[in-house]
Amino acid sequence: MKNIAVFASGNGSNFQAIIDAVQDGSLTASINLLVCDKPNAYAVERAKAAGIEYFAFTAKDFSDKQAYETEILAKLAEYKIDLVVLAGYMRLIGPTLLSAYEGRIINIHPSLLPAFPGKDAMGQALRAKVKVSGVTVHYVDAGMDSGPIIAQETVDLTENETIETLQEKIHRVEHQLYPAVIQMLVSKSREEVKNG
Ligand code: GRF
């Protein structure tokens, strides 16, 4: 059984979908840790409710990214984490974590990358008046939403789409797609994943 850590900064609805998938048996992994850079985030409440250990920190309490990532890395070792799952974690991953976990960190992004990377992806899609957007799951590298793509799913936009209606559609897709991709990754060896 593979051990995963979820990193989140906010509401954590994707974290919840992963918890639910483990509980209903469709995801055969163990969520050993939540890492959260906002101690008051609702994601922390979800961890408590599910009995999942969490490491909540405030970046300001550390001298720099290297300092807090060193602390995170120690937690990942302590909890024997195989796969890091970013789910609304609003920080770029730095060299400290990347050098230890590159190829084993994934992210979910609410657009069809490489379109609309970075913040406010759904707002960017609306302003561009695209007819189709979607969700991307990708490996994390040093760039912003730039690592190799693992899976994508489309979402159609209507004439009068709003940020609220789009967010609802995107979340519905994310909550199915992310647990399914994680299951695919934890049930394949790294070699099989690399070879597709
Ligand atoms: C998701 O839309 C995800 O694509 C993006 O951040 C959002 C997190 O939402 N990276 P939640 O905290 O999982 O509800």
**18-65, pLDDT tens digit by residue?**
999 999 999 999 999 999 999 999 999 999 999 999 999 999 999 999
Cα 143 to ligand 1 centroid, rounded to whole Å: 18
117 lines ligand 1 (CB under 6 A): no
Kindly report the average pLDDT of the chain as a whole number: 96
| Residue 188 binned pLDDT confidence (cut-offs 50, 70, 90) | confident
10 lines ligand 1 (CB under 6 A): yes
Query: Residue 16: pLDDT above 70?
Result: yes
Ligand 1 atom 7, closest CA: 88
List the 149-156 sheet strands across, edge first: 54-56, 29-36, 2-8, 83-86, 105-109, 132-139, 149-156
Nearest ligand 1 atom to the CA of 43 is: 12
Q: Contact at 8 Å (CB) between 58 and 37?
A: yes
Q: Which of 101, 99, 83, 115 is nearest to 181 (CA)?
A: 83
108 lines ligand 1 (CB under 6 A): yes
Question: pLDDT digit string (tens) for 122-149?
Answer: 999 999 999 999 999 999 999 999 999 9
Q: Which of 152, 150, 147, 149 is nearest to 170 (CA)?
A: 152
Every domain of the chain and the residues it spans: 2-195
Cα–Cα dist 75/79, whole Å: 6
Query: Residue 192: pLDDT above 70?
Result: no
Query: Residue 88: pLDDT above 90?
Result: yes
Query: Residue 191: pLDDT above 60?
Result: no
Query: Residue 195: pLDDT above 70?
Result: no
User: What is the reported pLDDT for 189?
Assistant: 60
User: What is the reported pLDDT for 43?
Assistant: 98
Among residues of the chain, what percentage have pLDDT more than 90?
94
Fold of 2-195: Rossmann fold (3.40.50)
Cα–Cα dist 41/142, whole Å: 25
Query: Residue 194: pLDDT above 70?
Result: no
Q: Contact at 8 Å (CB) between 98 and 65?
A: no
